[in-house]
Structure 1
């Protein structure tokens, strides 16, 4: 009888694994639903997709090429934006740089350069002076940069960045939020499909989950 029970248990585990798939993600497995849905910045039938990231994060850097290709492929179906997780709290220099570039409408054009500084040049931007020197080196007027960097609006947003992340239930990067409602990340996708997804294919599997969540949101 014990042996028979073990056989049934093994069969159940195999069946569960068979149904686990990034192309047909399950709530509580490859993604979760936020306890409190958040407002979105997308209009009409467009679906908002947010990437919570950190400049120094190796996994974010690894995801970036596939993420950009995925966003381009979506066309007008989505509105994509990034939010920098403030790792060191209210004075996090990386989040401070991100918010400043975003406010100056330079974040999109300089995002790749910041990542390259960290991951290719191995230069750590860990202080205000590091950020200011980097900005000047990359052609940004120093006085204009400082005016925004030290502005009340940016300092306030920086102090609130941790609370913003908490409302989205985000505590690691990269983490993706779809339509203010669904949360997923590579760690969840990997953990929900143990041993099934080769490491080099994990980012693509995560984007397959995004495809499914965008389709769900459109319905």
Structure 2
């Protein structure tokens, strides 16, 4: 079983892992019906499903953020706000509004902090707009984004995508639209990115590619465009 080995390797901060194969049904689950990925051909998608109000999602950010920062060129990480309740949906609107306003990278961790460290709820659109005003966005623009058709459409798509992933809770990492990693399957929050890294390597082997080959291909493409 993979968990003991991963715990021992967690301190090394490895972004991918190929030393042991994770076990389906133990370290992760396999979706009966794969979800269509939202990445370009040749890319491997990792989807981080979260809710801002979830303490485990908040705590996962600590091991997840540096792991995402070190992902190779052939891996794309996307976030997906879960929509399992009324408050969840309101926070999903906040996430996509921040994305629409171009401030999601600045806001993401601070939004978590506001809920879990400062005791805020941030469910009322006016409160969210006031929060966003700290990021060079007017409250009027923030409210417009929160109420826009585009953001509502994104939330609806997120809801449909989350349901197709057959998720029973969050946080979750979904790799290549096929493999679902949860805290319980991984054994700990720290293990989740490590198991995802091992699955990424497994997918590369299935495709007959490697991280270095993907990097070289991208470098060649960039060079040809110059």
Query: TM-score normalised to the size of structure 1?
Result: 0.79
Residue 189 of structure 1 aligns with which residue?
A: 186
Residue 166 of structure 1 aligns with which residue?
A: 163
CA shift digits 1:162-188 (9 cap, x unpaired)? 322111112211101001111111112
Q: Offset at 1:161?
A: 3.3
RMSD of the alignment, in Å? 2.0
Query: TM-score normalised to the size of structure 2?
Result: 0.76
Residue 218 of structure 2 aligns with which residue?
A: none
CA contact (8 A) 2:53 2:88 kept: no
Q: Offset at 1:91?
A: 8.0
CA contact (8 A) 1:178 1:213 kept: yes
CA shift digits 1:70-90 (9 cap, x unpaired)? 111223131011010013249
Q: Distance in 2 between matches of 1:90 and 1:160?
A: 17
CA contact (8 A) 1:49 1:80 kept: yes
CA contact (8 A) 1:89 1:162 kept: no
CA contact (8 A) 2:43 2:76 kept: yes
Residue 116 of structure 2 aligns with which residue?
A: 119
Residue of 85, 96, 100 corresponding to 1:99: 96
CA contact (8 A) 1:90 1:162 kept: no
Matched, 1:216 2:213: no
For 1:61-140, list aligned pairs within 5 A. 61-89=58-86, 92-140=89-137
- Report the secondary structure of 1:172's partner residue: coil
Structure 1 pair 29–160 and aligned structure 2 pair: CA distance change class (3 A)? same
Structure 1 pair 91–24 and aligned structure 2 pair: CA distance change class (3 A)? closer
CA contact (8 A) 2:82 2:88 kept: no
Matched, 1:179 2:176: yes
- Report the secondary structure of 2:123's partner residue: coil
Structure 1 pair 155–85 and aligned structure 2 pair: CA distance change class (3 A)? same
- Report the secondary structure of 1:36's partner residue: coil
- Any unmatched runs of 5+ in structure 2? 7-19, 206-226
